């Protein structure tokens, strides 16, 4: 079929303007949006206003506002209030010994409540601390401490007699509430009889201590050995021999530190406690005495030695044998200074002690010839007087 000539073709329809196409789409979109808005859920109602809680703790009252549904614990946290559980306290000093089981209690409008209880209305919350208690006491019969001993024993002391008392004490703390004498004691006092005490410092020494012990054994004389802790650690068998042969051990510090009264308390404690522990480790027995190196005394010395139950042992007769004078000079110095209750200072360590070993039996014999007896520094023997 033959095509039509351009002149005979029908004219084309022009395309629709773009605004005629977009306008219906916009209208449809607006309708959709308006429809969606018309079906949206309503906003939730506002939350209820906070409720006021009056928190009472002792004589303090604090007001806090919390939302409904919060707990007693929440209100306490907001108020910064924390109750205190009860404790048991000692009978005299009221020192805290530990919990007693009396817990904190809570009252909500005067009704018992827990920390987890929910708050839903204004209320008064009272916090009641657990009540403290005082420990129970008991009556024990015990020996009274001996009185009358000086701070430092320069002379032999008559031991006196231990008294007996019935004491009311705290069951846990042991604090004494009161005491009633049962048998009165007799105070210690300075010896008045012709007695002497022999003491030896700075041992034990592997050469001289056995020689001293041999002489004492042959003469039947007791003595007190003031040992250095470091020496005891090196020669524990000698410390044990001293005890086994009936003599006393005395703590002469761990390292023979002189001027100890001027040292810090930690150093004083280290030296005294260290010397004591060395003796205990070697013999199983604690020393009854403490002798200060160089004779250094002072309140801190008395205090720390007392805490270890050690009497400070001094002397009244000192021939200065540590300077190694001739044996005859040592003997003469001691014999010239004899008097009732004299405490003689000699050395079995710290240097050459040959002169001391030579002088010792002569001292014993000459003193006995003058009517003296050898005893311990604290003695209950009748001749002490």
Q: Which residues are catalytic?
A: 201, 347
Residues contacting residue 23 through CB under 8 Å, at least 6 positions apart? none
CA distances from residue 44 to 34, 37, 66 in whole angstroms, order as listed: 21, 16, 21
Q: Cα separation of 325 and 233, whole Å? A: 29
Q: Cα separation of 18 and 149, whole Å? A: 124
Residues contacting residue 95 through CB under 8 Å, at least 6 positions apart? 89, 173
Instruction: Please provide residue 281's backbone torsions phi and psi, each rounded to the nearest 5 degrees.
Output: -65, -35
Q: Cα separation of 177 and 313, whole Å? A: 32
Per-residue 3-state assignment (H helix, E strand, C coil) for the chain: CCCCCHHHCCCCCCCCCHHHHHHHHHHHHHHHHHHHHHHCCCCCCCCCCCEEEEEEECCEEEEEEECCCCEHHHHHHHHCCCCCCCEEECCCCCCEEEECCCCCEEEECCEEECCCCECCCCEEEEEECCCCEECCEEEEEEECCCCCCCCEECECEECCECCEEEEEEECCCCCEEEEEEEECCECCEECCCCEEEEEEEEECCCCHHHHHHHHHHHHCCCEEEEECHHHHHHCHHHHHHHHHCCCEEEECCCCCCCCHHHCCHHHHHHHHHHHHHHHHHHHCCCCCEECCHHHCCCHHHHHHHHHCCCEEECCCECCCHHHCCCHHHHHHHHHHCCCCCEEEEEECCCCCCHHHHHHHHHHHHHHHHCCCEECCCEECCHHHC
């Amino acid at each position: 079929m033959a095509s039509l000539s351009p002149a005979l073709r029908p004219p084309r329809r022009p395309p629709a303007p773009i605004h005629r196409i977009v306008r219906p789409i916009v209208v449809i979109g607006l309708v959709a949006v308006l429809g969606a808005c018309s079906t949206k859920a309503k906003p939730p109602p506002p939350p209820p206003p906070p409720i006021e809680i009056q928190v009472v703790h002792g004589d303090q009252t604090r007001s806090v506002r919390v939302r409904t549904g919060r707990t007693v614990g929440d209100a306490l946290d907001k108020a910064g209030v924390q109750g205190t559980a009860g404790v048991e306290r000692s009978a005299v000093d009221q020192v805290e010994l530990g919990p007693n089981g009396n817990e904190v209690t809570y009252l909500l409008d005067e009704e018992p409540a827990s920390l987890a209880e929910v708050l839903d209305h204004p209320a008064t919350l009272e916090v009641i601390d657990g009540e403290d208690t005082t420990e129970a006491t008991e009556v024990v019969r015990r020996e009274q401490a001996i009185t009358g001993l000086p701070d430092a024993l320069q002379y032999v002391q008559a031991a006196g007699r231990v008294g007996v008392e019935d004491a009311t004490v705290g069951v846990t703390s042991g604090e004494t509430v009161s005491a009633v004498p049962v048998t009165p004691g007799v105070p210690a006092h300075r010896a008045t009889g012709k007695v002497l005490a022999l003491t030896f410092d700075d041992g034990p020494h592997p050469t001289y201590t056995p020689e001293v012990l041999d002489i004492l054994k042959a003469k039947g004389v007791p003595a007190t050995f003031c040992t250095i802790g470091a020496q005891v650690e090196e020669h524990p068998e000698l410390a044990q021999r001293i005890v086994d042969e009936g003599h006393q051990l005395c703590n002469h510090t761990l390292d023979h530190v002189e001027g100890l009264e001027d040292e810090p308390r930690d150093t004083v404690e280290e030296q005294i406690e260290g010397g004591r522990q060395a003796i205990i480790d070697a013999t199983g027995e604690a020393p009854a005495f403490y002798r200060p190196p160089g004779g250094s005394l002072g309140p801190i010395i008395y205090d720390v030695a007392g805490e270890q139950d050690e009497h400070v042992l001094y002397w009244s007769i000192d021939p200065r044998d540590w300077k190694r004078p001739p044996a005859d000079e040592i003997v003469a110095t001691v014999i010239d200074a004899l008097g009732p209750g004299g405490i003689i200072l000699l050395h079995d360590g710290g240097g050459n002690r040959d002169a001391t070993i030579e002088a010792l039996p002569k001292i014993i014999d000459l003193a006995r010839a003058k009517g003296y007896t050898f005893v311990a520094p604290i003695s209950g023997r009748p001749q002490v007087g």
